[in-house]
Homo-oligomer: A and B are copies of this chain.
Amino acid sequence: MQDQTDRLTRALRAAGVRITRQRAVLLDVLAETEDHPDAVELHRRAEPRVPGLSLSTVYRTLSALEEQGVIQRHQFEGAPARFERAESAHHDHMIDVETGEVVEFRSDRIEELQARIATELGYEIVHHRMELYVRKRRG
């Protein structure tokens, strides 16, 4: 885990991205993250460890990390962007419309069908997004 982080910071530095105190902390926070927090939530989690950390720095860091492929940004309906590490394999999301909770899932079958559809229409997929807005089935 320490070397994971080390490799990452090394790669970032190599790309001309400086690992400042605020970025190191944000990377730590993201590493500990199990959910899909937004910028304000990440700031809330990081600020105690870098007093004075500004929200613009959080936004700027998130953009830099996204650009480096370290994290992914998700723009769900009617909510600020939410983030997660990019290390895990591709998956799509279900959003509980009542709680905002995010559940991940993956369907190779669907991914296949998407690719086929695009191909048949003369396109290639650059990226896609598929979100299921759901509610808990009661009964």
Say yes or no for A1: interface residue by CB 8 A criterion. Answer: no
Hey, which chain B residues are within 8 Å of A123, CB to CB?
94, 96, 103, 132, 134-137
Given A129-B129, A132-B128, A119–B107 Cβ distance below 8 Å?
A: no
C-beta contact mask, A122-139 vs B, less than 8 Å → 1, else 0? Answer: 111111111111111100
Asked if A110 is an interface residue, CB under 8 A from chain B, the answer is: yes
Of B109, B130, B133, which is within 8 A of A126 by CB? B133
Q: Given A75-B77, A105-B117, do A128 and B133 touch, yes or no (CB 8 Å)?
A: yes
Using a CB–CB distance below 8 Å, which chain A residues touch chain B?
Answer: 75, 77, 94, 96-97, 103, 105, 107, 109-110, 113-114, 117-119, 121-137
Using A77-B129, A123-B134 as known contacts, list a sample of 11 further A-B pairs with CB atoms less than 8 Å apart, ordered by residue number in A: A94-B121, A96-B123, A103-B123, A122-B136, A123-B135, A125-B134, A126-B133, A126-B134, A126-B135, A128-B130, A128-B131
For this complex, 16 residue pairs linking A to B, each with C-beta atoms less than 8 Å apart, are: A75-B75, A75-B77, A94-B118, A94-B123, A96-B123, A105-B121, A110-B113, A118-B132, A122-B137, A123-B135, A124-B135, A125-B132, A125-B133, A126-B134, A127-B133, A129-B133
